[in-house]
Structure 1
Amino acid sequence: MGKTKKEDYRRGLTVPLVISALLLQTSVVRADPAAKVHLPAVVQGELEFELLGGHQWWRNNEDDRERQFVGEIGYGITPWWKTELGIGTTRLPGESYKLDEIEWENTFALTEPGRYWLDLGLFAELAYDHPERRNAIAIGPMFQKEIDALQANLNLLFERELGSSAEPGAAISYEWQVKWRGNPRFEPGLQGFGTLGRTNDFGHQTQSSIGPAFFGQIFTGARSKLKYDAAVLFGLNRNTPDTTVRFQIEYELY
Structure 2
Amino acid sequence: MVDKIYHPYIEAMEQEIEWRSVWQDQQPGQENNRVLSRLAYGRSFGDRWFGEAYLVFAESTERSLELEGYELEVRHQLTEQGQYWADWGVIMELEKEDGADIWEFSSGLIVEKELGRWSATANALVIQEWGSDIDDELESTLALQTRYRFKPYLEPALEFHSGQDTKAFGPAMQGNLRLGIRRNLHWEMGFLFGLDSESPDTSIRAGLEYEF
How do residues 138-217 of structure 1 correspond to structure 2 at under 5 angstroms? 138-163=106-131, 167-168=135-136, 170-195=138-163, 197=164, 207-217=166-176
Aligned residue-pair number:
212
Letter in 1 for 2:106: A
Matched residue SS, 1:113:
coil
Match of residue 182, structure 2, among 223, 241, 246: 223
In 2, Cα distance between equivalents of 1:156 and 1:54: 19
| SS of corresponding position for 2:128 | strand
Structure with greater helix share of residues: 1
1:73 equivalent in alignment to 2:41: yes
8 Å CA contact 2:119, 2:146 repeated in 1: yes
Q: Which range moved further: 51-60 or 84-93?
A: 51-60
- Give me the identity figure in percent: 26
The aligned residue for residue 23 of structure 1 is none
Q: 1:68 Cα deviation (Å)?
A: 2.0
Distance 1:171 1:59, change over 3 A: closer
- Structure 2 distance, partners of 1:118, 1:177, is 14
TM-score normalised by structure 2 residue count: 0.93
Task: Find the counterpart in structure 1 of residue 206 from structure 2.
Answer: 247
Distance 2:193 2:141 in 1: 17
Structure 1, unmatched stretches of 5+, are 1-30, 198-205
Q: Which amino acid aligns with 1:224?
A: R
Equivalent position SS for 2:166: strand
Q: How many angstroms does 1:42 deviate by?
A: 0.9
TM-score, normalising length: structure 1: 0.78
CA distance in 2, matches of 1:41, 1:69: 24
**How far did residue 61 of structure 1 move?**
4.8
How far did residue 44 of structure 1 move?
1.7
- Superposition RMSD in Å: 1.8
Q: What's the offset of the Cα at 1:133?
A: 2.7
| CA–CA distance in structure 2, aligned partners of residues 140 and 59 of structure 1 | 26
Larger Rg: 1
2:11 corresponds to 1:52: no
CA distance in structure 1 between the aligned counterparts of 2:63 and 2:132, rounded to whole angstroms: 32
Report the structure, 1 or 2, having the larger strand content.
2
What SS does structure 2 have at the residue aligned with 1:170? strand
In the alignment, which residue of structure 2 is the partner of 1:234? 193
Q: CA deviation at 1:239?
A: 1.4
Equivalent residue, structure 2, for 1:8 = none
Distance 1:213 1:81, change over 3 A: same
- Structure 2: runs of 5 or more not aligned: none
